[in-house]
Amino acid sequence: MNINQNETPDQRRIRELEAQLAQNQNGGPVRFQVGKSGGLSMYGLGQRFPITLYVEGWEILLAHVDEIRAALVAYDRELKRKA
């Protein structure tokens, strides 16, 4: 796994905890890799391709975790699940 050399201990711990949480919730391993373009790709979500964002995109996503969870609850009946 590629790790940003400028990552603070707190950022590293958050990354590790989020990966552990994702693995526990999905039942499979989630892994991260830094691509040639410098984006961080997240594998193991059960999709054909990884989710890839630059740092700013991940920061925006993480800042809206509570809103994402609320949307999942609010739109539960409309959302589809993989069989």
Q: Where are the domains of the chain?
A: 9-74
- The reported pTM is 0.61
Three-state secondary structure call for residue 51: strand
What's the confidence (pLDDT) of residue 81? 86
Q: How far is CA 40 from the centre of its chain?
A: 9
Comparing 23 with 40, which gets the higher pLDDT?
Answer: 40
Give residue 16's pLDDT band: very low, low, confident or very high (50, 70, 90). confident
pLDDT per residue as tens digits for the range 30-57: 899 999 999 999 998 888 899 999 999 9
Q: Which two tokens stand for residue 21?
A: 């949480």
Nearest partner of 52 among 38, 69, 67, judged by Cα: 38
Strands in 1-83 per DSSP E: 31-34, 40-43, 51-53
